[in-house]
Amino acid sequence: MEQNISAIPCRHFFKITDAITGEIVCGNCAEVLSEKIIDFGPENQSQSMDDYQNNARTGQKISLKMADMGLSTTIQSQNRDSSGKILSVKNKQSFHRLRMWDRNSKSALTKQSFIKAFTFLDGIRSKLALPEHVVEKSAYLFRKVEQKKLLAGRSNLTILCAVVYMAWRGTDTPRTLTDIENAAGIKKKVIQRT
């Protein structure tokens, strides 16, 4: 009994990517599997590091250890659009309001506590040579403490020290409370109590 080969469906094991047209084609049956794929690489091939950074498509890395998580906004004070033309009166009013909201959101109390705490965390990181994953875990735990509203009436710096110690324990980093006491200048008993 002979099978009809054309009746067996192709499983597309052999895929060929055409970089010019942006298509992915099956090598067996020539079926176009995907069209206009996106190139996630850099804009062009750069020779120096400065050229590479200038042509990158992304901004800075998103990180929990920054108060704004690396997603800051910058609204220029000039009342001009991207081509240099002066904005209309209606757009000027809209951008004035946006600038005011942006300024007020940056000066919120929770944002200020994050700025102070994460600056302190950066100091502890540099004094104790903490790995990046411990710093990120500490920032995550501090944000959780703030989210649960446990900062009220307590020193943010003491809570941050306790959170760093919790991150050490959670990531099996070999450090003691004495290390953080020496680096932060906060007594060990206070950190233990917190």
State which amino acid sits at residue 166: M
Asked if residue 1 is part of any domain, the answer here is no
Asked if residue 65 is part of any domain, the answer here is no
Asked if residue 3 is part of any domain, the answer here is no
The CATH number assigned to the domain holding 26 equals 2.20.25
Runs of H (alpha helix) within the chain: 49-55, 89-106, 109-128, 132-147, 156-170, 177-184, 188-193
Q: How many domains does the chain have?
A: 2
Q: For the whole model, what pTM was predicted? A: 0.52
- The tens digit of pLDDT for each residue in 168-193 reads 888 888 888 888 888 888 898 988 88
Domain housing 51: 14-57
Distances (CA, A) of 159 to 59, 114, 120, 137, 146: 31, 12, 11, 14, 10
41-50, 59-68, 169-178, range with the lowest pLDDT: 41-50
Residue 86 burial (C-beta neighbours within 10 Å; 0-12, 13-18, 19+) = exposed
Query: Contact 31/15 with Cβ under 8 angstroms?
Result: no
Instruction: Give the mean model confidence (pLDDT) for residues 6-23.
Output: 75
Check whether residue 115 and residue 175 sit in a common domain.
yes
Check whether residue 183 and residue 121 sit in a common domain.
yes
The CATH number assigned to the domain holding 140 equals 1.10.472.10
Distance between CA atoms of residues 179 and 176, nearest Å: 5
The residues near 27 (Cβ < 8 Å, ≥ 6 apart) are 13, 14, 15, 16
